[in-house]
Structure 1
């Protein structure tokens, strides 16, 4: 097991590599212990991953980042100690009061299908307490994780629990895994008809398998992955017009509309917030090499 520790002022993050039996479906573990003297807000962008957070007591308040507060009832935050989040098509803002600790597990959606045994479309743009899917044994797992003497022991416990679930859960389709990897590899640019032809499925079968084992249809999944690639290029300094052409948008205006729709910010606003975020503690992205997060305050 490999670990990388990143102390950042009063925040500690420890990254763990899952057991080989769980890879590549389980992308990684992230242990975190945050102790600040002020609240913190963090924007999480649609990233094409399923997230399981097992918290050790403090609460996290999460709201939709793309809805305006004046829209009655649409931006009211949900409160969690632990949570399970499927694929998302819009950004969220998470807020805590300064104290937060726990473990985050990042999963490929097809691996989450096998581990959790539910149709992934039921989790799209949804936040749930983990026990709603994993059952009441989650409380015991969280207690055992919190009581473990260190992060190595916590990650080893997760390895054991997840390996048992993977052995008992429904198998994901190899053709589906291949198609998803092609979408990811190309940043959502591979033509859907090419996936249909090479998978040997019909359009309807491909859509059905994606909804079951990924959560989104191939077209909607490609939209999320194009956003992910575009934000990465913009953060590297690419010009918006060039980024739009490289990521399959019809023009710069189309790119700007998609970013605003899915993150709640224009490209200019997003890049300014990204720059400000870099100066704050624990501002790293959840996936190495990808733009997934912005620390907005704290």
Structure 2
């Protein structure tokens, strides 16, 4: 993300005392917990959403180096990042900005490392099955040992297959929680051992209970949509942070 206005501030949703860090631009690795975001009421910028294995190719670095954190773009891309911030902010219109982004992404893609087809296939299967795929089957399909699959995932995805599966299970559960489905039903549908396991995992990853999330999501829908991906529930407005 490259922001053209005042910096946005981020903090970990699961922290007892959130520590807010301002960013003009950032690269965010994969996370197993939610992030709080705060701004002054208006955000203008560009966000590029990449599959983790494509981020591995474009950034040219092991993805586990940025797991669970956000890093300013220049710290990752160096001169490319500093120039990108300046050029995107100064560009005359959105067509010019997209052209600048396309040029940078295509150039870095051509120079970056090639992700393993086995990693792409395993990620795709985990996504398609909402995380409900045994690790042993993923390793067998890849023709690798479970340990080797985990190592390649950490390099090219950032998280282990087991942690990626946790994220996909939670992603599947979020719209069911927002729609007020019973916890026992969600647990069974999304691959949790039982409702207690689901509640524990949800709070550990989202920073709130399922019922609190449902309330926050209801406020979000009532005020304005904030989801960043079409067809996916990605965000809520949190009471206390909401400023009209």
TM-score over 0.5 for the alignment?
Answer: yes
Q: 1:286 aligns with which of 198, 211, 228?
A: 228
Structure having the larger proportion of residues in helix: 2
Which residue of structure 2 lines up, in the alignment, with residue 126 of structure 1?
69
State the superposition RMSD in angstroms: 1.3
Residues of 2 paired with 1:280 and 1:150: CA distance? 29
User: How much has 1:280 moved relative to structure 2?
Assistant: 2.4
SS at match of 2:37: strand
Which residue of structure 2 lines up, in the alignment, with residue 98 of structure 1?
41
Q: Does 1:84 align with 2:27?
A: yes
SS at match of 1:62: strand
Residues of 1 paired with 2:110 and 2:180: CA distance? 44
SS at match of 1:279: helix
**Structure 2: runs of 5+ lacking an equivalent:** none
User: How much has 1:58 moved relative to structure 2?
Assistant: 1.0
Structure having the larger proportion of residues in strand: 1
**Structure 1: runs of 5+ lacking an equivalent:** 1-52, 70-74
User: How much has 1:143 moved relative to structure 2?
Assistant: 1.9
Q: Does 1:65 align with 2:7?
A: no
Which residue of structure 2 lines up, in the alignment, with residue 262 of structure 1?
205
Which residue of structure 2 lines up, in the alignment, with residue 169 of structure 1?
112
Aligned residues: 240
Residues of 1 paired with 2:175 and 2:27: CA distance? 25
Which structure 2 residues correspond to residues 1-298 of structure 1 after superposition, within 5 A? 53-69=1-17, 75-281=18-224, 283-296=225-238, 297-298=242-243
SS at match of 1:79: strand
User: How much has 1:175 moved relative to structure 2?
Assistant: 1.0
User: How much has 1:63 moved relative to structure 2?
Assistant: 1.0
SS at match of 2:48: strand
Give me the TM-score of the superposition, normalised by structure 2: 0.94
Structure of greater relative contact order (alpha carbons < 8 Å, 6+ residues apart): 1
SS at match of 1:215: coil
Structure 1 65/152 Cα, relative in aligned 2: closer, same or farther at 3 Å?
same
Q: Would you identify which runs of 4 or more consecutive aligned residues in structure 1 move more than 3 Å?
A: none
User: How much has 1:237 moved relative to structure 2?
Assistant: 4.2
Give me the TM-score of the superposition, normalised by structure 1: 0.78
User: How much has 1:256 moved relative to structure 2?
Assistant: 0.9
Residues of 2 paired with 1:147 and 1:133: CA distance? 21
Residues of 1 paired with 2:33 and 2:106: CA distance? 31
